[in-house]
Amino acid sequence: MPRLQVLNGKRQGATFDVGRGETVVGHRNTANVAIDDPWVSWDHARIFFQGDSFWVEDLGSTNGTYVNCVRVKRERLSNEDIIFFGKTHVMFTAPELARAAAGTEPPDKERSDF
């Protein structure tokens, strides 16, 4: 299952599962991924699945969302991308997507074209 791993700050080391629905990242306690960082907006960004990919979309945050040091409004995510929400850095990990892109999925897993 894809995950976000917090690389620095108060939640360093925390991991959050990212499902195929929408995952909201923000400063508020009720966000799916709550980040206690004053540089993170209340509802900062969302991560969602569309087509065959995961995406991150900035929700009009004050300080922006960055993927691999580039400010983005909406960006397709790849395995091990580094996302900046305020001054908090997280790594998006989805090894199954990396295997699928490389054509090296384990033989016991069936692929779906949905």
Residue percentage of the chain with pLDDT more than 70: 84
pLDDT at 59 over 70: yes
pLDDT computed for residue 99 by the predictor: 57
The partner residues of 3 in beta bridges, in order of sequence, read 17, 93
Residue 97 phi/psi, 5-degree rounding, is -70, -40
Residues ≥6 apart with Cβ < 8 Å to 82: 7, 67, 68, 69, 89, 90, 91, 92
pLDDT computed for residue 56 by the predictor: 98
pLDDT computed for residue 88 by the predictor: 97
Residue 102 pLDDT level (bands cut at 50, 70, 90): low
Helix H, strand E, coil C: the string for the chain is CCEEEECCCCCCCCEEECCCCCEEEECCCCCCEECCCCCCCCCCEEEEEECCEEEEEECCCCCCEEECCEEECEEECCCCEEEEECCEEEEEECHHHHHHHHCCCCCCCCCCCC
